[in-house]
Every structure is written in structure tokens, then in C-alpha cells.
Amino acid sequence: MATSARRKIALIGAGNIGGTMAHIILEKDLGDVILFDVVDGMPQGKALDLMEMRPTAHLDGTVTGTNSWDDCRDADLFIVTAGIARKPGMSRDDLIATNSRIMTDVANHIKEVAPAAFIIVISNPLDAMVTLCKRVTGFPKQRVVGMAGALDTSRFRHFVAEELGVSVDNVSASVMGGHGDTMVPLPRFCSVAGIPLQSLLTAERIEAIANRTRVAGGEIVKLLKTGSAFYSPAACAVRMAESILLDRKWVTPCAAYLEGEYGVQGLYVGVPVTLGAGGVETIHIIDLNDEERAAFDKSVQHVRELVSSLTPA
């Protein structure tokens, strides 16, 4: 019996996030990895290091390091991290000029070598970069998604679990809106093993956790001093990729293209979606109260202003 072809996953950018994703994908055996970067030797070196790990870890997948887009041809899924990282004192928005040029080049190449692929964008400022990627590729909205809310929600869940001394698996939560300081953690929809968060913590503690979630990325940037988070973004992006490639139907907030949902037209915004074999298969509508709606609208307006600063593709 003939075996089916292995999935091909192209990671664009072989920095800290790219290398970590390659490791996680190899461990999960989601497919064979193409680790691409413009820096000669870096993706090749990381790929060789990972390949030499395989015998000890009993892994059969492959990682190929490359500087050639030809090696990415016909990939099933791309995860794009390419771009400069934040340094202390910088916001995600400060990266837009440089990373727009990089994203335009990346998107044009993806369109050429893999016109049927799915794309997960991690590059910051996320909301603008995923918008630009869709504009340049012209891919259907279901096949281009941004990794933002998945990470923000993971951070929110961690802070709640840490505060209460419980397993993170018991914490359900959701963070909507843009991937920045205006993001909208939703404590009203957060629970611990079904127990509403408001029954477990004071309003002051909940607000402190929500505020820490909003600036969590910056907290890591300040501590690292020479870069930004990579373990958590990598894990969240691979989880999204797994849900698409294996049709897991994972429900998580992602930057999805809205066409009327939540009253938003033609904009990528973080909302809860189902990720499956069709990409973004369903956008879920949460009934926000007045306070939550006002915060969401404020975040949407910030995303709109950020996107408006993009040079037309």
C-alpha cells in the first residue's frame, strides 16, 4: 500500500521563533519542515542541529534549512515570522515601516511558489502585517490568519492559573481585538473548571491580571533587552497549524478577516474562530456587554488607524 505524501510546512524566518517552531513541529511529527531565511548559514545550521537530534529523540521528520524560495515550492502551510523584533521602548507599531517591506516581499514569493497554501502570520505589528499579506497574495480570507489572540489568551490563562494556583488546563479564557495595548481580555467569559472567575477573584485582582495581559509582550522585551518573546508565540502558532493540518477544529481567538461580523467590515481583528481543514471555518459571535463592546470598538479603531498607514500594495 502506497503511503501518502508527508505535509510540507515552510517557516519563513529562522530566528528564535522559527527555530523553536521547527523543534516543536519535529517533536509533534506534523510534517517535514522547510526553515527559510535570507541570512546565509543560519537556517542550514539550525536545521542540521535539529536533524542530529533525531536519533536521540526517536524522530523521523526532516528539517531543511535554505535561502532559496524554490525549496518552499508547494508547501501546504507557511508560518511567517520574518521581520525585525522589538527592543526595549518600542511598541509593535514602531516596526511597521521595515516589516511592511519584508512582508510584501515574502507574500509575493509565497503567491508564486505555493498558490494553494495556508498562511499563519506572526510578524508584528500583527494586525497590519496579516492585512498586508492577504492584500499581496490575494488569497481567500479563510487561508490567511494572524496569530495574536491565541497568544494573548494563553498569557491570560497563565496569569489566572498562577494567581489561583491551579492547572492551566482548568482555565478557559478569551482575548479579542488588536494585538497590542488595546487588546480586550474578557474576564466575564473566563472560568476555572466551569467556575466564573468573578467568583474566585476580586475585581481589582482581575483588572490587574487583564492589564498585565495587555502589556505581557512588552514585559518580556524589557527583561530580555535584546529581543522579544519566542517560546510562547512559537507554541501557539504550531497549535494553530496543527488544527488546520489535522482538522482539529480548535476554537481560539485569531486575527481573522471580518466582513460584517461584530459590525466590522474589511479588517483583520482578533475574534474567536474555528480552525480546521478549511482554515478559518467559522467566526464565532460573542454577545458583548456595553463596556466590553466599547473596549472592542476602541481596539478596532486602533487597528484601522494602523492599517491605514500601510502603503497600498
Domain-located, residue 2? no
Domain-located, residue 132? yes
Residue 98 gets which letter from DSSP?
H
Domain-located, residue 31? yes
Instruction: Show contacts of 97-102: CB within 8 Å, 24+ apart.
Output: 99/123, 99/124, 99/125, 99/129, 100/128, 100/129, 100/132, 100/310, 100/311
Range of the domain at 104: 8-146
pLDDT at 35 over 70: yes
Whether residue 125 is found in the same domain as residue 187:
no
Q: Is 223 exposed, middle or buried (0-12, 13-18, 19+ CB in 10 A)?
A: exposed
> Domain tally for the chain?
2
Is residue 33 within 8 A of residue 9, CB to CB? The reply is yes
Burial 260-276 (b: 16+ CB within 10 A, else e): eebebeebbbbbbbbbb
> What is the overall mean pLDDT for the chain?
94
Whether residue 81 is found in the same domain as residue 174:
no
Q: What is the DSSP string of 269-307?
A: EEEEEEEETTEEEEEPPP---HHHHHHHHHHHHHHHHHH
pLDDT in the model for residue 87: 64
Whether residue 141 is found in the same domain as residue 182:
no
Domain-located, residue 313? no
pLDDT at 89 over 70: no
Residue 95 gets which letter from DSSP?
G
Cell, residue 102: 519584508
Mark which of 95, 118, 146 sits at the end of a domain.
146
Q: Which residue has better confidence, 1 or 310?
A: 310
Active site residue 179: yes
Selected catalytic residue, list 58, 179, 284, 302: 179
For the entire predicted model, the pTM comes to 0.94
Mark which of 121, 146, 171 sits at the end of a domain.
146
pLDDT in the model for residue 95: 75
CATH number of the domain residue 284 falls in: 3.90.110.10
The stretch 212-216 carries a mean pLDDT of 96
Measured CA to CA, the distance from residue 157 to residue 153 in angstroms comes to 6
pLDDT in the model for residue 1: 33
Whether residue 121 is found in the same domain as residue 179:
no
Amino acid sitting at position 5:
A
CATH number of the domain residue 136 falls in: 3.40.50.720
Whether residue 20 is found in the same domain as residue 139:
yes
Mark which of 146, 173, 201 sits at the end of a domain.
146
